Chain A
């Protein structure tokens, strides 16, 4: 089975406190720590496990600048066989549809049975997988927390739905699945593993290589544009307790008692 996994380099929400820049229209990106999107690790792990069971290859792909190569190498250190970097100034400012359009151009050059994405990334939209599938006329399922490969024609897919329930579907191959966290336990990648794949060649392709009209992607093709970042005024928020730990705890216990949380 040939599997393509779409990954993204994103600011790490666990490692950063996000601040606005002095102009107030973008994040202060100077000291941001980036890593591979958390959901994508689950997608790559799932792909590797499928290939371990039924044979085939895992290819990881991303769209970005030179720095995005590091996330491809990380996923190749996990066990992905190939990496592809799609990079072009013309791709900058793409909206979700632009990203899906770029990916579609590369997908059509391959022969993939299964395309995986993370359920969402830094922008929290969860849009690219569903768009890519619709463009390719492949079936799609989001929030996938179970994949059972059963022959070459169909796959059984569990989706996470409300209340912790699971919706089971049967889908024709090829298809696109967006993978939810928790579907597996992504393997650990150490420095040694990254070193092993440091020399592997990763092809870089631009708009011309993909036969893309530059006006259909990037800022030129985007119907949806981010204007600015801001921190909303959410009203008063919590009453923040300060003082020594003992003082804080005394105040807190009093409040818990008054709300019926302690006898």
Chain B
């Protein structure tokens, strides 16, 4: 089994949560595997993250370069290809950055690639046994990956046990001089902040959240009426925003808002991991969906198999008395 490296995503000097989860993923590949953190960036923010990672990893590679101040995947890829051994197993977060970086990285390292891994069943020689999902989470699959010449694996956040009370006292290896030429044909310009909407769904204790099951734009009103009766606010999943039926500021999910309500009512929402990634604070989750196999029923506290277009008006009437 080759050496395992974990790419640490960070912003404003703080590593993202998944940095604490990679060691468990590596252990599930090979109980004896050494895992090395790789942190790219620039200046004081980078140093803060590197310092924090020495508590979690026995070895931390630091790559400091002004061109890495913002994580442009194409620039980071160049640096990693120049620094990492070609037969490395590289763990990358399956977030918007990792999705940008990892497929191309695997080609440049001539390594195998597996995306969005949610579990690991060990290895058989150089063959990794991994678990991932297909069809929007409707089914899972076991996948084998020949990692003899290296592998790039993106890992879904929240799938592995986070390390607690980490105090490893690892060593820092500065590889900044090995990063090489970092000029790229894609240049980062700026981040445009999300528009602020008329309603702040992050402030509401109760959310009536609608998904594809709402079927038509005119039916949004049915959810509005339920929300009004409950003193709640209407939020939604991505397809509703894609269809322009509600504004982007009402979207719950990793690509939308992160909400922490007391009660989350998922109405006709299938429950993709991208959507549930925006539901935090362990709310009481109520799922209404006409598909009894909808993944949302796996994560909800209470569920009803019903057509929301019939169920919501009935619930509204019962609440309004």
Binding site for B on A (CB under 8 A): 11, 13-14, 17-18, 20, 27, 95-97, 100, 119, 122-131, 133-135, 138-143, 156, 158-172, 175, 181-182, 185, 223-232, 234-235, 237-241, 245-246, 248-250, 252-253, 255-256, 259-263
Contacts and interface: CB of A to CB of B under 8 A. Distances in A.
A228 B121 CA distance: 14
A193 to B, nearest CB: 21
Contact of A240 (B144, B297, B299): B297
Nearest to B131: A232
B205 A182 contact: no
A16 to B, nearest CB: 8
Nearest to B11: A162
Interface stretch (B50-58, B169-177, B190-198): B190-198
Contacts of A255: 284, 286, 302
Contact of A165 (B192, B262, B293, B303): B192
Closest 5 CB pairs of A and B: A130-B103, A261-B263, A164-B194, A238-B303, A134-B104
A227 B143 contact: yes
B186 to A, nearest CB: 4
Nearest to A185: B244
Interface in B116-164: 116, 131-136, 138-146
A197 B138 CA distance: 34
Contact of B142 (A17, A226, A237): A226
A238 B102 CA distance: 35
B306 to A, nearest CB: 7
Chain B interface bracket (under 10, 10 to 19, 20 to 34, 35 or more): 35 or more
Contacts of A135: 107
Contact of A261 (B106, B189, B206, B298): B206
Interface in B226-244: 230-232, 238-239, 241-244
26 contacts: A97-B112, A127-B103, A162-B95, A162-B255, A163-B258, A165-B193, A168-B189, A169-B72, A171-B186, A172-B186, A181-B242, A185-B244, A224-B114, A224-B144, A229-B139, A237-B298, A238-B300, A245-B311, A252-B302, A253-B318, A253-B319, A255-B302, A259-B284, A261-B284, A262-B230, A262-B319
A133 B142 contact: no
Where chain B touches its partner, the secondary structure class is: mixed
Interface stretch (B22-30, B39-47, B59-67, B246-254): B246-254
A139 B194 contact: no
B221 interface: no
Contacts of A161: 96-97, 191, 255
Contacts of B141: 226-230
- Name the residue in A18, A126, A181, A234 with the highest tally of chain B Cβ atoms < 10 Å from its Cβ: A126
A249 B306 CA distance: 11
A154 B248 CA distance: 28
B186 A245 contact: no
Nearest to B137: A124
A130 B100 contact: yes
Contacts of A181: 238-239, 242
A131 B107 contact: yes
